[in-house]
Structure 1
Amino acid sequence: MTLSLYYHPYSRAAGTLWALEESGVDHDLKVIDIMKGEQKGPELMAKNPMGKLPTLVDGDVVVTEAAAIALYLADRYAPGLAPALDDPQRGTYLRWSLFAPSVIEPAVMARHSGWAVREVSAGWGSFDAMLATAESAIAGKAFVLGDRFSMADVVFGGTLRFMLGFKQIEPTPVFADYVARLDARPACQRADARNAAMRKELGLQ
Structure 2
Amino acid sequence: MASGKMILYWGSGSAPCWRPMLVLAEKGLSDKCTSKRLEFSKGQHKGTDILAINPRGQLPAFQDGDVVVNESGAICMYLEEKYSDDSNRLLPQNVNERAEVYQRMFETSNIISNVQEPIVRYRYRTKTEDLDHGYLKEKTVKAKEELDRWNTILKGKDYLCGGKFTMADVFFYPYLALFVRSGAKLADQPELERYYETVSKRPSVQATWPPHWKEGPGPGTLSDL
- The structure that has the greater radius of gyration is 2
User: Do the aligned residues in 1 keep the contact of 2:13 with 2:178 (CA within 8 Å)?
Assistant: no
Q: Match of 1:103, as an amino acid?
A: N
What does residue 154 of structure 2 align with? Answer: 138
Report the TM-score, using the length of structure 1 for normalisation.
Answer: 0.79
Letter aligned with residue 111 of structure 2: I
Identity %: 27
Cα deviation 1:162-185 (Å, max 9, x = unaligned): 212222463421111001110121
CA shift, 1:141, in A, is: 0.6
Q: Say which of 43, 56, 61 aligns to 1:55.
A: 61
DSSP 3-state at the match of 1:88: helix
Q: Is 1:91 equivalent to 2:71 in the alignment?
A: no
Corresponding residue of 1:11: 14
Query: What residue identity is the alignment partner of 2:158?
Result: A
Residue 29 of structure 1 corresponds to 35
Aligned partner of 2:5 in structure 1 is 2
Measure, in 2, the Cα distance between the counterparts of 1:127 and 1:170. 11
Q: Corresponding residue for 2:128?
A: none
Q: CA deviation at 1:6?
A: 0.6
Question: Cα RMSD over matched residues?
Answer: 2.8
TM-score when normalising by structure 2: 0.72
Alignment-derived partner of residue 148 in structure 1: 164
Is the 8 Å Cα contact of residues 70 and 155 (structure 1) preserved in structure 2? no
- Give the equivalent residue in structure 2 for 1:176: 193
- Which residue is 1:82 aligned to? 91
Q: Does 1:104 align with 2:111?
A: yes
User: Does structure 2 retain, via aligned residues, the 8 Å contact 1:107–1:130?
Assistant: yes
Asked if structure 2 preserves the Cα contact closer than 8 Å seen for 1:75 and 1:82, the reply is no
Match of 2:143 among 114, 117, 127: 127
Asked if 1:166 is matched to 2:182, the reply is yes
Bigger shift: residues 20-29 or 58-67:
58-67
Q: Offset at 1:48?
A: 1.4
Could you tell me how far 1:103 is from its partner in structure 2?
1.1
Q: Indicate if the aligned counterparts of 2:46 and 2:57 stay in contact, CA closer than 8 A.
A: yes
Structure 1: stretches of 5+ with no match in the other structure: 117-125, 201-205
**Which letter maps to 2:92?**
P
Where does structure 2 lack aligned partners over 5 or more consecutive residues? 123-131, 136-141, 216-225
CA distance in structure 2 between the aligned counterparts of 1:158 and 1:11, rounded to whole angstroms = 8
Q: Deviations over 1:93-147 (max 9, x none)?
A: 11111222x210121121453696xxxxxxxxx4344223222332211112211
